[in-house]
Each structure stands twice: as C-alpha cells, then as structure tokens.
Structure 1
Amino acid sequence: MKQTVIKWGGMAVLALFLAACGSGSGGSTTATSGTVTGVVTANATGTPLAGAVVSDGTASATTDASGAYTLARPVGDYTLTVSAVGYQNGWRACTVAPGATVTLDWQLTTAHDDYADYGAVAPSQMIPAASMNYVVLAWNDLGMHCSQDDYSAFCILPPFNTLHAQVIQRGVGVVTSGITVSYRFPKKTNSAAHTNFWQYAASYGWAAAPNVGITGTPLAGTMKVDANSLGFVAEGIPLTPYDDDGTWDPYGTATITVTDSTTGAVLATTQVVAPISTEMNCSNCHGMTNTYLNILQAHDRRSGTTLVADRTAGALHLCSECHADNALGLPGKTGVKNLSLAMHNFHKDKVVSAGASSSPACYNCHPGPRTNCLRGVMYHAGQTCTDCHGDMTAMSQALVNGRQPWLEEPRCGSCHGSGHQENSGTLYRNSLFTNSPDPKMDGQIYCEACHNSTHAEYTSTNPVDNGIPQQYQGDSYWIWNCYVCHTDYMPMPSMHQ
C-alpha cells in the first residue's frame, strides 16, 4: 500500500486527519442537506487539477478546468476522499450542516516512492544529502517556549529553550561517540541586554549568571549526549525573542556544528529554530499600564494573598512556589491547584475569541496573533488548538479529573492510528521510530527528528522551520527520503509499517 499523503499549503499530512470542517453561509437552503465545495490544486505549483474526483463513497464530484468542485449531500458526517491521476489520494472528515456550505480545498502531492517521479535519475543522486557524509537532524522539543519581558513582579517561566540533535553518518547510522556537537545563536549572543531576568533571578531561587540558564546551560556551548545515548541535547538555553540589534524575533535559529573530537575537523553543520515568545498577552485583560501589578492585586483580592505587599518589601514570588508546575518540575503546595488548572479553570469564562480565525481564544495567553505558534502541518489541515487540547472548559475538566499537565498530552495515535502512535507511556517529543520497513532502524530515530516538534510539524507555515528538510531533501516535507540517511537503501512503499 502506498503511503497516504495529503497536502495543504505546502505541507504533507500522514494518515487521516479526523478534523471537523468549518461551515459558512450559502449553498442549499433546505433543512436536510448542505454543500461541500472547494478547489483541488497541485501543491508544488498551485496549478488547478481538472478531473480530480472528490467522493464520500456514495456520491462524487469531478473538478472542472479551474479545479473547482461542488458536492451536495444530506446533513451528516462524512469521510471524503480525493483522487487525481499522478497524485497521492487524500482523506478528510467533514460535517455537513443544514443549508450550509463547507469549503474544503485540497493541495495534492505526487508520490515520492516511484522512480517515475525522478525521470531517469535515481533519487539517491537527486537530493542535496547525496553529496554529504554526515547529516544532522535537529529540533526544538516543544515547538514554542514562553517567557516574560519583565520579572520585577513575579515569574511564571524563566528564559528557557531546549534543542535536540541526532547525527547520522550516511550509510552507517546514528553516531554519538568520537564527535563533538556545539550550538550557537549568531543573532542572539546577549540575552541579558533584552530581559531583566538576571537582575531578579536570585529572588526566585536561581543562582544563574547573566546569559546562563537555570540549568547551567549557556547561550552557546556543547550539547550533551542524551539519556538514550541516541542524540545530543542542550536543555534550558536562556533565549529571548530579541536579536542583538533589538529586533523582535521569536523564531531565532541556532547553528549546530559537528566536529571530529580528535582532529577538530568540521563534519556537518545545520541550522534549527529555537522558538521563544513573550507574547502572553496578559494586557488584553489586565490593562496596558501596570499589567503585572494589576495581576498581583487581583490575586490578593481573590485569594487572600499578600503579593503586592511582598513585592513592596522586596520579596518576589515564582508562581510554582504554590502552584505545581511540571514544566519546571516544581511540586507547589499541597491543596493548591497546579498552575495549568488554576489558569485555565479561572479564565475559562473570561477569555473569548477576538473573532478572527488567526486569533483563537488560546492566543489571548499563548503566543499569539503576532507569534502564530500553531503553524505546522496540523494547522494546514484545518486543526485548531481545541481540536487536540479541547476548549478551556474541557481542559479544566481534564485537569480536575487528574490529567498531569506537560506529562500527559494529546496522542498522535488517537487520530492517526496505531501506525503512527507514540511509544507506550511516552510523549511524542520523546518517542522513537519503532515500525520501520527495516527493523535495524527501530528504536534509533526520534519521531521529532523526521516530523519536527509539536505545533511546528513539517511543513510549517513559517519557512524558517523548514530549513533542515530543505537542506537535505530540497523540499519542505517531513524527512521522507531514505537517501537522507542511507546510501544503498531503496524507498519503501510506506515508511511506517
């Protein structure tokens, strides 16, 4: 069976996206039917695809010369497929509402596992990696980290970022010995110039020198071999979203360099995004003037605390002193809600959407209409934050029921099936490839090494995220081409068996 690929706006989506489709006005005016309409194009060129067939298994519509189709269906839930000669089939789920028109556009990609796609030249000779001896697959663990612009009132999260990398000698495999992996941020060499965190760090219990993170990790340095001895990690890099010249850049890139530990010879380099944003938007509700003071006052008024007085006396507080926070590994106080529950539960009836599709309710606190941290393949597929996490009421209820924030998260396998599920009891960001076409690959490659981190899965709407597949494959897809890592391995019908 060929690997199923759907493409929206330059990205590829593995397996079936079980996403409810939005509806708009127009279409049939009856109370028992609605209309599905859209345009089918070739992702690589944007060319309309005439003759593509969109079907729910019972009824179908064929696209015209402009790639457009219209399919009238009774009210209900449907799984639609699209097929076009020379292109991968696609699937999406859709809800048809009474008298409504659902717009469902498709961008299809050609198959990658057929020599015909490459003409007379083998794919091993086509991709940029073919001329390389080593490749570096690197990623940020979360797809977005958050920090504050001001630490003079309280601290939610310090400047903190984590990078991972796997070094692969093509034709040999994963390498962790005999090499040194270093990182640096060419445009971000002095975080202390853009945050007052280090001025107040000791007040929060951290003895961190300027430009050194709370884990002892500096802005530039050497990555450590990770706990699985499969890659390298730099945890707690103290980044800010500001470049040295003051430019606000939440998607700064690190240069990762691999050298021979004996000779110092450079074996490989790559660049990877280390995203961090201060766009938490507390001012949306707490005012543009004295925002943090307003928050402390509200907390004192509602919870009987003395945070304002403490601040006046020079005592500053970390939120997780009282509210447990698994992101920092701090237990909080017995009987006090964890930070995620306290925030979501209290604000669930106070935060509303700004109305624009790019500004969901979540962006009132999470980065944000300016940052657009939800930018990966899921976003292209029409998914929103709530499709995976639930709305704030659902989030709160799950936490009340015992879900552990940061430690128990939505599962890929819930929508994508067992072929694309995480390792048992393991988060996506820590899971390893275990159902490869060649068992020798099992347990060797991290899921994020090929698909990138959550919220930024390849292909991302932010081009800077796509640098690694561009460097090695010459495209922005997930790492699908066997020859990125292999020199004598033919493409298989499906990467996940």
Structure 2
Amino acid sequence: MKKVCSVLVGLSFVFAMANGTLAETEWHSGQTSSTGSTSGSTSGSTSTTTAITGVVKDIVTGAAISGATISDGSHTATTSSTGSYTLSEAAGNYTLSVTKSGYQQTYQICTVVSGAATPVNWSLTKAYGNQYIPASAMSYAVFAWNDLGMHCDQDDYSYFCVLPPFNTLHVQVFRHGGESSLVTSGITVSYSFPKKTNSTLHTNFWDYAAQFGWNVAPNTGITGTPLSGTMKLDANGKGFVAEGIPITPYDDDGTWDPYGTAVITVTNSSGQVLQTTNVVTPVSTEMMCSNCHTGSNPQLDILQKHDDHSNTTLVADYWSGKVHRCSECHADNALSAPGKAGVESLSLAMHNFHKDKMKATATAAALTPDCYNCHPGPKTACMRGVMARAGKNCHDCHGDMNTMASSVQNGRQPWLQEPKCGNCHDAKHQENANTLYRNSLLQNGPDGDMNNRIYCEACHNGPHAEYTTANPADTVITKQLQGDNFWIWNCNVCHSNYSVRAMHR
C-alpha cells in the first residue's frame, strides 16, 4: 500500500520521502493535493495503531539534530542523539511540525496508512532574521529571475535541433516606502550580458536556423528577442519580460559558464538610472546523449536509430544537406509547435522510448539522478535549489521515466501541466488556480496590499533553483536586498518600518 508524505513550508524546508513517486493523478493543473490534513486530528480508520518514523538533520551540514520535537498537535516525540524518532499514530491524515531551538519551525503533511510504518524525514534551516536589510536604504527594490531555473540548448545544430538558444527573464520593480508600490510605467527595464555579447562565437545555430523554420538574424532569438535590449510589459501587466533570449553557456572568451549573469538596469523617462541588479540566466548544453549513443559520431547514431525505429530518412536528408528540428513532427508545447497528427509529442516520444534504456551503458547506469543523462547534468548540476539540498530528487516531483510517459499517455500536456507546489504544500503555499508556479502571484499576504501583485518566483526563484540554492550565483538579489541568501522573507525589503510577519496567511 502506498505511503504518502508531503511537504509544507513555513520558514524552513523538509525532506519527505514519499516511498517512490507522487501519485500519477497529482499532475492535473489546479488539482488540490490528495494528502489533505487536519492538524492534531485523524481521518479514516483509527482502529490500527502504527508509527511515523524518521530522522531530523541540518539542511546545510547533514548532521543529525538531537532534541527536536515532532508533534501532530496531540502527540509528540523527541529525536535521539542520532536524530531519529518514532511517533505512534493511528491511520489518518496529519499536519506534523518539528521544533528545535536555533532552527526554523517546519511543517509537513503526512498520510499514515493502516498496518505500515510511514517514513517522514526532515532537513531544517537555521534560524535567521536579525540582520540589517540593505533595501531599507534604497528607493527601488528590483526583483529578477529566470522562469525555469535552467534552460537547455545544443552545442551543434548541424544534424538536428531539439531546442534552440532560448531563455526568459522576468523583472518586477517596487518603489520602496511605507506603502510600497509596484511600478509598471514611466520606467525602462533593460538587460545585457557583459561576458556574453556574441552568441555566434560558440554556436552554429544561425547557420541552420532558416532550415529549422526560423528566419532570424544572428544574436536574435526565435521570438525576435535580441541578446541584449529592452524588456516589455508582461501579459499580466505586473512586471517586465524578455522571452527567447538567445544566450549560450559560453562567455565570449570561450569559458563555459551555465550560470551567466545578466545586468538589469532600470531607468526613468529622463534616462536616469534608478537601480541595477544582476540575475543568473541559466542555460546548459550538457545533454548527455553520448552516454548511450556511443561511437565516433553520436549525433549521426541518433539519426540512424530514428530511421531504423520510425522508418524515416533523416540520415539520407543529412547527407543531402537537409536538417530537421524534432518539433516538425513531434508536438512541443515549449515551442508552441503542434507537430503532426498521429505522431507522439516530443516529451512522450523521448520518455516512452528511452524509459527502459537508462542502463544501456555503464556510464548511463551510474549517473545519479538518472535524469541527468538527458537534462543538465552532473557538470551543470541544475538541481540546486532548497528541495534538492533537502534530499529531494527529480523523481519526487516528476516521477520516473515510466511515470513521465504514462502521465502524458493519460492526458497530461507537457510544459502546460507540471508538478504543483500544492501537491505537497498546504493551501497557503499552492499556486493560483489553473496556473503554473512560474505564472502565479501571491494571494494571501499579511496585509493584502501585495496580493495579486508579486510573483511567487520573485520571492522564491524558479523551480530547480528555489532559494536558498547551492550555487552562490543564484542569490545575488537576495543578498543585495535582504542581506542573506534566503527566500524573500522580510517585509522591509519593499516597505519601511514594517514589523516582520509570515508572508502567507
């Protein structure tokens, strides 16, 4: 019988081992979690007494934390010198909490099933909140973030195109003061990359772009967005966006840096600079096809195997000088490409065909997580956010490759319906209804004045890179505004002389 433990964040983070992957029904957009809770009470059968067991550790050091108290509101347990505990419970749904002096109190939703032990592990964040807030001396607070935490492109486009150079940045600007105000007019927001001024130095994408159906000038993305320029107001009218920036992981001098920095500059109508900040624009070419497609020419091997499996003529087309992008035939919502009728979407084709091939070679089998065989990657380490630091892996949110494939076969729309924060966190921390995390806005702020105004990612950063991340480059803005590398937790980042309170009510 499946045991489900979900995560609830207060001002810390927990690692909840869910004994496998999330239920396949949990991907639906706007769906609430199947692991609802009532603090200090139970639901379902109460006839069988079982136990919740786990270990409490420090999220940074991994050291066991003794003397921590785990409670469901009625029953408590205290961790031993090894950080372990056992909490006797009847079957049902619970909201657990853990407290320890010097650490942030943390909560976790848990479902206990009859006759089975339920593992609930915790990774705690040290207490914080006494430092000076640099933003209190600023006239403007500028938030900037990348939407996905990582984008992918290729080193070589001479054989085929999976994804073009493409990155997206978002910015929100707030006028600092007693009543902070969102600024969306009368200013210009621009972006530039001091170390990455010419993408054509390190990619041949524009040599083949027209064949792929994109007639764009060098250093211009497929949406018409240049490598540097002015951002436009986003579709919600809440901030500024540059979508489709054609950046690569290479600096002009050839240095490979998947965490390159964009400089964001905010000016008024007179051209006066109001504020600047730096934001990581993550992109990697570390798609590890060569882990399985071995030999002298892995890309040609891919084309040949596609021909063998699907009766296509990709190799012959290549030798005649014609190259293809995958989304010509395979629908790809990331590129708004409809594909061809009767052909599996790119996501389904990739995950379904390769789901039993991750152990095809010793190199592929040894890679952890196995998703790094295709997604960037052991060198890039794109899974660097607070969830990864607490021990969560790709499978905990997305499922394994079998789950990825079956969810699409059962109707999930890749890129448009993704894992939901609300599947594991409580209602206070879930996305807006029928809205992805990257597009969601705060709905339950302490005073209401920030509701429907500030994006979740402005305070928490993009998925796979949630604050606080293992990569110091990601936390430039939080250090600039708040003086630490945590998520935005202090009201005085935007307001003046506000008492600090919980951001979600």
Which TM-score bucket, shorter chain as reference? 0.7 to 0.9
Query: Is 1:82–1:90's contact at 8 Å kept on the other side of the alignment?
Result: yes
Q: Which residue number corresponds to residue 17 of structure 2?
A: 19
Q: Which residue number corresponds to residue 176 of structure 2?
A: 170
- Cα distance change of structure 1 residues 206 and 433 upon mapping to structure 2, 3 Å threshold: same
Q: Which residue number corresponds to residue 282 of structure 1?
A: 289
Q: In the TM superposition, what whole-angstrom CA distance separates every residue of 1:299-357 from its partner, at most 9, and x where no partner exists?
A: 1111111111111112111111100101000101111111100111100111149566x
Give the drift of 1:20. 2.7
Q: Which residue number corresponds to residue 130 of structure 1?
A: 136
Which amino acid is the alignment partner of residue 83 of structure 1? T
Normalising by the residue count of structure 1, what TM-score does the alignment of the two structures yield? Answer: 0.85
Q: Which residue number corresponds to residue 253 of structure 1?
A: 261
Query: Is 1:42–1:49's contact at 8 Å kept on the other side of the alignment?
Result: no
Query: Is 1:5–1:89's contact at 8 Å kept on the other side of the alignment?
Result: no
Q: Which residue number corresponds to residue 106 of structure 2?
A: 90
Query: Is 1:17–1:416's contact at 8 Å kept on the other side of the alignment?
Result: no
Which amino acid is the alignment partner of residue 470 of structure 2? T
- Cα distance change of structure 1 residues 424 and 280 upon mapping to structure 2, 3 Å threshold: same
Which amino acid is the alignment partner of residue 463 of structure 1? P
Q: Percent identity over the alignment?
A: 60
Residues of 2 paired with 1:243 and 1:439: CA distance?
43
Query: Is 2:75–2:87's contact at 8 Å kept on the other side of the alignment?
Result: no
- Cα distance change of structure 1 residues 102 and 490 upon mapping to structure 2, 3 Å threshold: closer
The structure 2 residue matched to 1:109, chosen from 119, 126, 142, is: 126
Residues of 2 paired with 1:448 and 1:482: CA distance?
16
- Cα distance change of structure 1 residues 50 and 398 upon mapping to structure 2, 3 Å threshold: closer
SS in 2 for 1:440: coil
1:210 aligns with 2:210: no
Q: Which residue number corresponds to residue 461 of structure 1?
A: 470
SS in 2 for 1:138: strand
The structure 2 residue matched to 1:157, chosen from 163, 169, 176, is: 163
- Cα distance change of structure 1 residues 76 and 344 upon mapping to structure 2, 3 Å threshold: farther
Give the drift of 1:19. 3.4
Residues of 2 paired with 1:307 and 1:417: CA distance?
49
Q: Which residue number corresponds to residue 27 of structure 1?
A: none
Which amino acid is the alignment partner of residue 71 of structure 1? Y
Give the drift of 1:104. 4.8
The structure 1 residue matched to 2:188, chosen from 180, 184, 208, is: 180
Q: Which residue number corresponds to residue 493 of structure 2?
A: 484
Q: Where do 5+ consecutive residues of structure 2 fail to align?
A: 1-7, 21-49
Q: In the TM superposition, what whole-angstrom CA distance separates every residue of 1:162-207 from its partner, at most 9, and x where no partner exists?
A: 0000011112311011111110111111110101111111111111
Q: In the TM superposition, what whole-angstrom CA distance separates every residue of 1:112-168 from its partner, at most 9, and x where no partner exists?
A: 4xxxxx4xxxx7xx2111110001100001111110111001111100000000011
1:377 aligns with 2:386: yes
Q: Which residue number corresponds to residue 329 of structure 2?
A: 322
Q: Which has the higher contact order (CA 8 A, sep 6+)?
A: 2
Query: Is 1:260–1:267's contact at 8 Å kept on the other side of the alignment?
Result: yes
Q: Where do 5+ consecutive residues of structure 1 fail to align?
A: 23-32, 113-117
Q: Which residue number corresponds to residue 229 of structure 2?
A: 221
Give the drift of 1:102. 7.8
Residues of 2 paired with 1:435 and 1:222: CA distance?
32
Query: Is 1:40–1:52's contact at 8 Å kept on the other side of the alignment?
Result: no
SS in 1 for 2:210: helix
Which amino acid is the alignment partner of residue 310 of structure 1? D
Query: Is 2:51–2:87's contact at 8 Å kept on the other side of the alignment?
Result: yes
- Cα distance change of structure 1 residues 79 and 134 upon mapping to structure 2, 3 Å threshold: closer
Residues of 2 paired with 1:74 and 1:303: CA distance?
55
Q: Which residue number corresponds to residue 340 of structure 2?
A: 333
Q: In the TM superposition, what whole-angstrom CA distance separates every residue of 1:281-309 from its partner, at most 9, and x where no partner exists?
A: 01111115211110110111111111111
1:365 aligns with 2:374: yes
Taking only aligned residues, the RMSD between alpha carbons, in angstroms, comes to 3.1
Normalising by the residue count of structure 2, what TM-score does the alignment of the two structures yield? Answer: 0.83
Residues of 1 paired with 2:90 and 2:476: CA distance?
41
Q: Which residue number corresponds to residue 240 of structure 2?
A: 232
Residues of 1 paired with 2:338 and 2:62: CA distance?
51
Residues of 2 paired with 1:490 and 1:55: CA distance?
28
